[in-house]
Amino acid sequence: MSVLGGHSEALYEQAGDIKQYLDAKQLRPIIIFAHKRHPAFPDIPCSVELGYELTLPQFRSIVAKAGTPPDRIKILAEAFKKAMETPEWKRFAEDQFLDPESCMGPDKLQAWVSSEMETMRDFMKTFGMVK
């Protein structure tokens, strides 16, 4: 990793992916790109409170083939919701610093992803990456 080798000064990464370095105090968070502070890092400011209207949510998603019958989607969504209520998932989510409020069902996810894509397009236009 370039930061640990001294080749760069900063790294943008999901905290759970670098947990071992955070635990070993080899890296330390300096900002959370979100609307509010993360409960695992209460002393680390978020971008919005510092005046930056920039959030960079990272997400995991389960997808199904287009045309999957709605009743199957409902069964899958309910199964994943049930799994996320287990102690094992809750430990995993805490260990990986997942946002406790980030779970959304199939009724909300597509609109959220579309909104995030539009935000990224706007940033790319602002910074001259696309016309």
Mapped onto helix, strand or coil, the DSSP state of residue 118 is helix
- Mean pLDDT, to the nearest integer, of 59-80? 92
- Mean pLDDT, to the nearest integer, of 98-123? 86
What the block records as the tokens of 106 is 């199939």
More confident residue, 71 or 107: 71
Output the CA torsion sign for 37, 96, 2, 25: positive
Domain 1-58's class? Answer: alpha beta
What the block records as the tokens of 51 is 């005046």
With 90 as the cut, is the pLDDT of residue 75 above it?
Answer: yes
- Mean pLDDT, to the nearest integer, of 72-86? 93
With 80 as the cut, is the pLDDT of residue 102 above it?
Answer: no
Whole-number percent of the chain with pLDDT over 90 = 63
Annotated domain spans of the chain = 1-58, 65-131
* pTM > 0.75: no
pLDDT tens digits for 17-35? 999 999 999 999 999 999 9
pLDDT tens digits for 28-67? 999 999 999 999 999 999 999 999 988 888 778 888 999 9
Residues 65 and 51 sit within 8 Å (Cβ to Cβ) = no
CA distance 112 to 66: 18
**What is the model's pLDDT at position 100?**
67
